[in-house]
Structure 1
Amino acid sequence: MYILLVCFLIISFIFIISGESFILYFDKNAKDNYSVVDSFFIGLCLIGALLNIWSLFLPTDVFSLLFVSLLSLALFFIHSKHFISKLKAGVSLLKSEKIFFVVTIIAIVSVLLFAVINPQNYDTYLYHINAIQWNEMYRAVPGLANLHDRFGFNSSMMVMSAAFSFNAIYDQYIFALSAIVFLVFFIWLLQLIYYKKGVTGMIAILFLYFFTQLYAKNISSPGTDLIPNIFVAYILFSLLFDTDSLNKKYLLFVVVPFFGITFKLSIFPLVFLGLIALYQKHQNKRFAFTQLFTVGSFLILPWLVRNVILTGYLIYPMDTLDFFNFDWKVPKENVIATKNAIYNWAKVPMRNPHEVAKLSFNEWFSIWWKMAIFKTRCFLLLAVLAPVFYGLYLLISKKERKKAVLFFVIVAYLGLAFWFFSAPDVRFSLAFILVLALFPLFILQPLIDKIKNVLYPIVIAFTLFFFYTFLQEGYALFQHDYRKETDLSYLYLPEDIYFIKEKRFIKYKDFTVKSTDNQDFKIYAPSIEHAQCYDKFPCTPTFDYNINMKGDDFQDGFKYGK
């Protein structure tokens, strides 16, 4: 746990310093409008974009971590007066708010319980760890998606996890990125509950409760679902709870959505908020377009280049964006098969995707709806009815707030539609569903404010109940992984992922591929009964004999066929 705390501090320092420095450069006059949490998320995106650029030329390893650390230190000393004054203000606030300080400590301990357990995400063992290893050992590898289609998904999470794995320092993987991002978001929601109270506090605690029910087990994994959904919730709630925030802190609404799509395409609708924020901020539209092009290119272009290198396509697996003819390009039929498998598995999981593809809309939707649990159905119905609730809102709201709330509803509703018609698995986009489902509470604010004195004890009681259930689940998972009462190694360092593999007696087959200079290279695949790769490298869940090396070593890439 101690090492996890150290990693939390290092990552937070890098993100906050980078975000604050960016704000000081691009929006200095409005710097006081941005919170530390805003800076954290902006910095996360900027560092992620920088690492994507790095990965085009060099492996994303300990040297990339050293680079961003030194860069952050340099920025800290350049703006030392600003950061020292902010630090003093933060310490003074914590001293004056002793109750919230205690709540924050409990939140940190709670998240640490989840962070120290073995990764619970199935895909982490299937391909996440191997994808991270490819990023650590090599720069972007041409045609890597030919080896295994999931290596072509190219989420920035894999690049950032490689940079922040701390593997070279501790000789094992420390998956701290999801945990620290969740912790910051967790504390932000607790702040809303503690200070805003009323309807805002009620929405925050209800969202936190149902959100963690689905994603809590992702805290210890380098998965690609948790952080994008946090992005969605943070951006939409920032707009809903402060309807002037598009004007006051436009950089947040530009940077996070634009970079967010490099984590997961499902959050694409958030980009519209960035466009609106830029349009409203700058009277000179030419300057707005120039800034959009500059910032957008920095955030997205390296990711697009990586897509082309890994797969041969601009966005994978979208076979319609087929503009290139590199010899490493994944065959179009394979791309279509991957795309259909994702979509059909999301519609009816645990069933043959080819069979699902033959079902009509009514047939698969009926199965999909029956498989959804009761609370998910309720959330979906409330989310679908969001336009109706907005109509009610128009009748009772103040004029100056209507536009911002309209933007909130439109973008969230677009996110809901994008999710449903692309890959309708709830874990991909729960944030869009939940924020819309809780929107009716926001509408009832004038009524609920009249009983605020009654509501606040209810919010506090529900918050205590949440902490109880959250800690209980975390402790149960913790006990499962650390059963020996005398084994206190977890207080220093989480269990090594390598030993998890050894406990399961994973067996591998090895396959030989030849380089262009006729040298033999081994690629591993787990036996059928095991399926997952764990940390065996290089590994693919299924080996395709049509795969060939393009050059003298793995860095030169892979191609399909001769």
Structure 2
Amino acid sequence: MFAKILIFCENIPIKTLILYIFTDTIFINMAIVLISWFIIFFVLFTAGDFFISIYNLICKRKEVYSVPDTILFGLFFTIIPLSVTSFFIPSNHYILFACIALCIGYWIWKRERISLLLQKLKEISNLAFYQKVLLAFLFLSFILIAVWAPNGFDAMSYHYANIRWNEEYPVTPGIANLEDRFGFNSNLFLLDAIFTLRLFLGYPVYTVQSLIAILIFSWILLEVFRSKFELKRVILFIVSVVYFYYEHRGISDTSTDIIPGLVTFYLVVKIILYPESFRQNYLLYIFVPVALAGFKLSAAPVALLSIFLAIAVIRQKEYKPLIFITSLLFLYFVLWMARTVIISGYLIYPLHEINLFAFDWQVPVETAVKQRFLIGYYANEYMAEAFRNGIAVHNKYYIILSFIYLLTASSVVVSLYTTFKSRNTIYKYVLATLTLCLCYWFFFAHDFRFGSGYVFAAIFTGAACLSGKKTYFFPRLSIASISLLILWMTVFSFRSASYYDECLKDQLDVTEKSKRITRILLHPYSAKDKMAALKENEAADEDFSIKQHKLNNSVSIGISTYPSGWYGDNIPCIANKEGTPDFWTIPDIRWIEARGNSIKNGFRRKREFINK
């Protein structure tokens, strides 16, 4: 990795290199990430604080939550009003302006709380100098991967387009007929849409995932500092660094797997470190695990944790909190399902078995069946083959992954043995949930992206069970280890620029290294450049190749002519079915017609192609 960075910078005069590194443009790109994080943080923290206040007021509770907890509440609570407005207007900068105005109004109303929040920030100012430096470098590592986010298959296939649809149009009937994966209807894309800053920058940024990640990683590092480098928490940080290594691509972009995985990891870790919080913080451990399913349906097994706590609450006859939380979750999922019905015609796509409607825009059952098959094929057979091939050629990624799998299995066995021996009820709840999640992941969707949060949560649980109630301290060794790991994270994140460098050199024919470095520092890794990088053996061409196709006199959509079918955030658009395998795209432009004279009227399958 260090060699790659040296090769990347070779033949560049040192003065020029220093100038590039410290030029205003790179700081502007970093500042954009920080500003984006601040805006998202402000909106989500305010929404979360409001949510907690209303809950405590109505239920007569006094639950207190940390900054990451509050952000998570805001993350899910914001979706409710955003879903309502999405039925009538696009989710874009106007909604963001309204959110910011409401947030400012809230803090004017609750201005006495501002001083209390500022007191919490004093904890950071009281850190030792070297601890502040470590925290700063941790932030820098996440900023770098956000600035030069590597390209991703799913992002270029439909994530960017789905987000752009939410920005440009209200929820549109039958758009899953253009790209059936729109039918998954992840709430993440609805949230991403209002935070792209496209109006101000001229291009989108996607930083919701990286903000959630840096908040959780910072919380872990602060836990290490607070505990004076207690061994259990040091191990937790080491586990989180391995998590970063395997999931940095998803953290930096629009992956729908990152937030469910990270949040599950965070919840399990918090219960292990603070078992008493599980019986005290109803809102966190009942609401959040269930709400994750609206971001990624495969996260549904995590809700078992909520069920355990809900049963305990019922036994204690504390009905008010449970009624409040279940009512809000009911509203949350009713809105999510209503959007899914409008997009695909199904309550939950691609679960075609739940077929309650006969709308003309409904995605044909055979398409849903095929998508179900492809999800299972890719997540199991295809990824298993990639794993076997990776081990055969001694690929370090897969070799380390095989050790992680072995460590996960060992951790589960150790955890089960020690937990049932000690009769720790709360740990039993955690282990039962993790076991269900791991089994679901392993047998039904064996792609590491889907289960990484469960895997690393299980590993830490095993380590915690081994250490028991005793506390061990190795401060000097721990400080040295954590310092080296954070330095490695920063250098590793800088490597993200090498993805962009390869794109500029191989696909866009920018042969002069100094020009490539200038461009890397001047511009983020745009969707246009990512498209070029994904073309592999095609001729280098910086422009998208999109051909317009008329559905009627008023409605036209683009057809991506790339064999891969990618079209970035161009909308309305569809992949070219001719020459593109089902593995990459299912809908065919020849099957589709407009439902009216406006894109807002939506799309449907032509009757003569319903059974194709």
TM-score (norm 2): 0.82
Give the structure 1 partner of residue 79 of structure 2. Answer: 48
Counterpart mapping for 1:134-533 below 5 A: 134-196=165-227, 197-281=229-313, 283-284=316-317, 286-349=319-382, 373-385=398-410, 388-394=413-419, 397=422, 402-446=424-468, 449=471, 452-454=472-474, 456-478=475-497, 481=500, 484=514, 494-501=524-531, 504-515=541-552, 518-528=553-563, 530-533=564-567
SS in 2 for 1:224: coil
Give the structure 1 partner of residue 20 of structure 2. Answer: none
Give the structure 2 partner of residue 24 of structure 1. Answer: 53
Give the structure 2 partner of residue 548 of structure 1. Answer: 593
Amino acid of the structure 1 residue aligned with 2:600: Q
Give the structure 1 partner of residue 570 of structure 2. Answer: 536
Report the alpha carbon displacement of residue 288 of structure 1 after superposing the two structures with TM.
4.9
Give the structure 2 partner of residue 113 of structure 1. Answer: 144
Inter-partner Cα distance in structure 2 for 1:175 and 1:207: 25
Using a 3 Å threshold, how does the CA distance of structure 1 residues 30 and 92 change in structure 2: closer, same or farther? farther
Root mean square deviation, CA, Å? 2.9
Report the alpha carbon displacement of residue 520 of structure 1 after superposing the two structures with TM.
4.7
Deviations 1:260-302, CA, capped at 9 Å, x for gaps: 1111122212222223334434644654553243111232221
Deviations 1:171-229, CA, capped at 9 Å, x for gaps: 21011212211111110111122223334313312321211111112233122121221
Inter-partner Cα distance in structure 2 for 1:410 and 1:386: 13
Inter-partner Cα distance in structure 1 for 2:164 and 2:387: 38
* Identity within the alignment, %: 23
Task: Give the stretch that moved more between structures: 20-29 or 50-59.
Answer: 20-29
SS in 2 for 1:27: helix
Report the alpha carbon displacement of residue 500 of structure 1 after superposing the two structures with TM.
4.6
Report the alpha carbon displacement of residue 239 of structure 1 after superposing the two structures with TM.
1.3
Task: Give the stretch that moved more between structures: 32-41 or 306-315.
Answer: 32-41
Amino acid of the structure 2 residue aligned with 1:187: S
TM-score (norm 1): 0.88
Amino acid of the structure 2 residue aligned with 1:533: Y
Deviations 1:350-389, CA, capped at 9 Å, x for gaps: 79xxxx9xxxxxxx99889989923333333443455532
Give the structure 1 partner of residue 610 of structure 2. Answer: none
Using a 3 Å threshold, how does the CA distance of structure 1 residues 394 and 173 change in structure 2: closer, same or farther? closer
Q: Do 2:383 and 2:446's aligned partners in 1 also have CA atoms closer than 8 Å?
A: no
Amino acid of the structure 1 residue aligned with 2:31: Y
5+ residue gaps in structure 1? 357-363
Report the alpha carbon displacement of residue 523 of structure 1 after superposing the two structures with TM.
2.4
Report the alpha carbon displacement of residue 45 of structure 1 after superposing the two structures with TM.
1.3
Task: Give the stretch that moved more between structures: 105-114 or 388-397.
Answer: 388-397
Amino acid of the structure 2 residue aligned with 1:345: Y
SS in 2 for 1:57: coil
Amino acid of the structure 2 residue aligned with 1:443: C
Deviations 1:7-58, CA, capped at 9 Å, x for gaps: 1111111111211221122136765631111111111111133322222221
Inter-partner Cα distance in structure 1 for 2:515 and 2:404: 42
Report the alpha carbon displacement of residue 507 of structure 1 after superposing the two structures with TM.
5.0
Amino acid of the structure 1 residue aligned with 2:293: I
Inter-partner Cα distance in structure 2 for 1:237 and 1:141: 40
Give the structure 1 partner of residue 6 of structure 2. Answer: none
Aligned residue pairs, count: 542
Amino acid of the structure 1 residue aligned with 2:44: F
Q: Do 2:376 and 2:445's aligned partners in 1 also have CA atoms closer than 8 Å?
A: yes
Deviations 1:98-123, CA, capped at 9 Å, x for gaps: 44333221111111111100443222
Task: Give the stretch that moved more between structures: 55-64 or 275-284.
Answer: 275-284
SS in 2 for 1:551: coil
Give the structure 2 partner of residue 360 of structure 1. Answer: none
Inter-partner Cα distance in structure 2 for 1:504 and 1:34: 51
SS in 1 for 2:575: coil
Give the structure 2 partner of residue 359 of structure 1. Answer: none
Q: Do 1:546 and 1:561's aligned partners in 2 also have CA atoms closer than 8 Å?
A: yes
Amino acid of the structure 2 residue aligned with 1:330: V
5+ residue gaps in structure 2? 1-29, 502-512, 533-539, 578-587, 608-612
